[in-house]
Chain A
Amino acid sequence: MIQSALIKKQRRFFFGLLGLILATAIISVGAGYSSMSYDRIFAALIGQGTFKENFVLFSVRMPRIGITVLAGMALALSGAILQSITRNDLADPGIIGINSGAGAAIAIFFLFVPLEVGSFVYLLPLVAFGGALLTAVLIYLFSYQKETGLQPIRLILTGIGFSMALSGVMIILISSAEREKVDFIANWLAGNIWGTDWPFILALLPWLLILIPFVLYKANRLNMLNLNEPVAIGLGVSVEKERVTLLLAAVALAASAVSVTGGIAFIGLMAPHIAKALVGPRHQLFLPLAILTGGWLLLLADTIGRNLLEPSGIPAGVVSALIGAPYFIYLMVKK
Chain B
Amino acid sequence: MVRLSAEHLDISYGDRTIVKDLSLAIPDKKITTIIGSNGCGKSTLLKALTRVIPHQAGSIVLDGSDIAKENTKKLARKIAILPQTPENAPGLTVGELVSYGRFPYQTGFGRLSAEDHDIINWALDVTGTQFFKYHPVDALSGGQRQRVWIAMALAQETEMIFLDEPTTYLDMAHQLEILELLQKLNQEQERTIVMVLHDLNQAARFADHMIAMKNGEIIKAGTCDEVMTAEVLKTVFRIDAEIGLDPRTQKPICITYNLIKGA
Contacts and interface: CB of A to CB of B under 8 A. Distances in A.
A220 B104 contact: no
A178 interface: no
Interface string B101-139: 101101011101000010010000000000001100000
A228 B83 contact: yes
A1 B93 contact: yes
Interface stretch (A32-40, A98-106, A280-288): A280-288
A220 B91 contact: no
A235 B74 CA distance: 10
Contacts, number: 85
B52 A230 contact: yes
B93 A230 contact: no
Contacts of B80: 234
Contacts of A236: 72-77, 103-104
A228 B104 contact: no
Interface in B86-108: 86-87, 89-93, 95-96, 98-101, 103-104, 106, 108
A1 B120 contact: yes
Contacts of A216: 109
B247 interface: no
Interface in A222-265: 223-224, 227-231, 233-238
- Say which size band chain A's interface belongs to: 20 to 34
A284 B109 contact: yes
A276 B91 CA distance: 9
A220 B109 contact: yes
B130 to A, nearest CB: 12
B47 interface: yes
B93 A233 contact: no
A233 B86 contact: no
Contacts of B108: 217
A2 interface: yes
B110 A220 contact: yes
A217 B133 CA distance: 26
A119 interface: no
Nearest to A228: B87
B29 interface: no
B92 A281 contact: yes
Contact of B134 (A3, A223, A233): A3
Interface in A133-161: 147
Contacts of A276: 91
Given A220-B103, A238-B72, A230 B91 contact: no
Nearest to B110: A220
Nearest to A230: B83
B174 to A, nearest CB: 21
A3 B47 CA distance: 34
Interface string B44-60: 00010011100000000
20 contacts: A1-B95, A1-B96, A1-B98, A219-B109, A220-B110, A224-B103, A227-B100, A228-B83, A231-B81, A234-B52, A234-B81, A234-B82, A234-B153, A236-B75, A236-B103, A238-B73, A276-B91, A280-B91, A282-B96, A284-B109
Interface of B: 13-14, 47, 50-52, 72-77, 79-83, 86-87, 89-93, 95-96, 98-101, 103-104, 106, 108-110, 112, 117, 120, 133-134, 153, 156
Ranked 6 nearest A-B pairs via Cβ: A236-B76, A220-B110, A1-B95, A236-B73, A234-B81, A230-B83
